[in-house]
A and B are shown apart, each in its own frame.
Chain A
Amino acid sequence: MLKESSNIQIKGIREGLMVSFGDESWDALTSALINQIKERPAFYQSARIVLDAGSHILGVNELVALRDALSEHGITLWAVLSNSSTTEHTAQNLGLATRISKPKAIDVADPVDGISEEKALWIQHTLRSGTRIEFLGNVVVFGDVNPGAEIMAGGSVLVWGRLRGLVHAGANGDEEAVVGALEFSPMQLRIAGKIAISPKKNSKGKLEIAKLKDGNLIAEPWKSG
């Protein structure tokens, strides 16, 4: 631990500096942090910061303001850790990481029939190029997944729209995971350890579901029942 004050903790980690915020008001904490930076510019010079925001619920304005304030001092904010899903969501939208290299220990439930009954991440907008979604369970996108967007899911992925980006279902090795879309034309598709490249270039995708069958990745038109 390099420096400690009651409400801001700063320690060096492999990925840069970890700044942990306490429960004081957001404005007070950020201005205290900026003051510390001003006092010790050499220590913070071109630092890469991971912010542990604790239970602060942060919107776009707060994170953008902090990021820009830090960047004026030559400091990069690259990740935000949080207990609040709102804050995590904001950070993801801004392209900030929400996890650092060592993922928290996961216990993957045993999904029986591909799509298990656990909670799914519900995304209610189109994922544009450069967006990356990571989730341990199933992911449902109500919108398109554009080329250049990525979804890494522990479980299955359903896209109620056009799938044209990259999807990795069963990213933790779950071979029962499936991927489905109304218009199925992913740039690249991965299920568990298998990778497939879409054979049909420029053709309009149809409603299809992809899964692993005898160790091969296959996509077929969806039939109910």
Chain B
Amino acid sequence: MTAKVVTVTSGKGGVGKTTSVANIAVGLASLGQRVVCIDGDIGLRNLDVVLGLENRIVYDLVDVVEGRCRLRQAMIRDKRLPELYLIPAAQTRDKSAVSPSDMIRLCDELRHECDWILIDSPAGIERGFRNSIAAADQVLVMTNPEVSAVRDADRVIGILDAEEKGPALLVINRIKPAMVKRGDMLSVEDVLDLLAIELIGIVPEDENVIVASNRGTPMAFDNKSKAGQAFHNIASRLMGEVVPFMDVENQGFFQRIFSGRK
């Protein structure tokens, strides 16, 4: 097995990186893939909570890097799926506990053991971000349809280009169709117009995402929700399938019949 390392990053905080990593991981794992998630947000770990694995942490990423445990010992298996693992971040340390070369070494060791390594990058463009992208084969840039989030995404895409980690793929999270229709929110087209990179996912706003995160049961376990479906679609696209984009902006019955859009 040779895993592909995918990093999810955004520049701005709070756009949904951690939730997306959890959900895309669940999506990939439910396609029978062997997935390891790494929480890159050392000092502010969240991915364990969103995945509902907080109480099972014994060793973490920093323990592996500093040689206090073997890689295998830090991998927490999610029992709900056959092949989903988490390597949690340390909560009591900070970003400087790990270096970009540590991450490359760790991912190289992991590559033989799984199909996908998903790295949850912290917000910002400093050390934690650099650690998270160091080993990436593919970067997903996450944004919300808000001017400030798009601005930060643009900056991150610029940095990824400069470091030859591009071309990144775009995920637009938390689209509210009603607001877009009123002209109060940037549309998918507006965001793509500015960022000019390829799209890999559009996720509609869904209150249940918050409920699911709080419970530690990612949305993607429930196939019926639109947001959960959107994350499954991203997972399928990562696998190379061609999945049409959900038409989140025209959900009304009449629009669906009369508009000629996909």
Contacts and interface: CB of A to CB of B under 8 A. Distances in A.
Interface of A: 60-61, 64, 68, 71-72, 74, 93-95, 126-131, 144, 146-148, 164
A129 B100 contact: no
Contact of B163 (A64, A128, A164): A64
B154 A71 contact: no
B152 interface: yes
Contacts of A93: 161-162
Among B96, B147, B161, find the residue whose CB has the most chain A CB atoms closer than 10 A.
Answer: B161
A148 B152 CA distance: 9
A207 to B, nearest CB: 18
A144 B154 CA distance: 12
Contacts of A60: 162-164
A72 B103 CA distance: 13
A131 B151 CA distance: 12
7 contacts: A60-B163, A71-B130, A94-B159, A126-B196, A127-B158, A129-B151, A147-B194
A93 B96 CA distance: 24
Given A126-B196, A148-B155, A71 B162 contact: no
Contacts of A68: 99-101, 130, 134
A34 to B, nearest CB: 12
Interface of B: 96, 99-101, 127, 130, 134, 147, 151-152, 154-155, 157-159, 161-164, 194, 196
B162 A72 contact: no
A131 B147 CA distance: 18
B194 to A, nearest CB: 6
A129 B163 contact: no
A72 B163 CA distance: 18
A164 B150 CA distance: 13
Task: Give the 10 A-B residue pairs with the shortest CB-CB distance, closest first.
Answer: A128-B158, A93-B162, A130-B155, A129-B154, A129-B155, A72-B99, A128-B154, A68-B100, A94-B162, A129-B151
B164 A129 contact: no
Nearest to A126: B196
Contact of A148 (B134, B151, B162, B163): B151
A61 B151 CA distance: 26
Main secondary structure, interface of A, reads loop
A131 B163 CA distance: 14
A60 B154 CA distance: 19
Given A60-B164, A147-B151, A131 B158 contact: yes
Nearest to A59: B164
Contacts of B134: 68
Contacts of B164: 60-61
Contacts of B158: 127-131
B154 A148 contact: yes
B129 to A, nearest CB: 12
Contacts of A128: 154-155, 157-158, 161
Given A72-B99, A94-B162, 16 more contacts: A60-B162, A64-B163, A71-B99, A71-B130, A93-B161, A93-B162, A94-B159, A128-B154, A128-B155, A129-B152, A129-B155, A130-B154, A130-B159, A148-B151, A148-B154, A164-B194
Nearest to B183: A202
Contacts of B196: 126, 144
A218 to B, nearest CB: 27
Contacts of A129: 151-152, 154-155, 158
A71 B127 contact: yes
Among A61, A129, A147, find the residue whose CB has the most chain B CB atoms closer than 10 A.
Answer: A129
A124 to B, nearest CB: 13
A94 B165 CA distance: 12
A146 B99 contact: no
Contact of B159 (A71, A95, A127, A148): A95
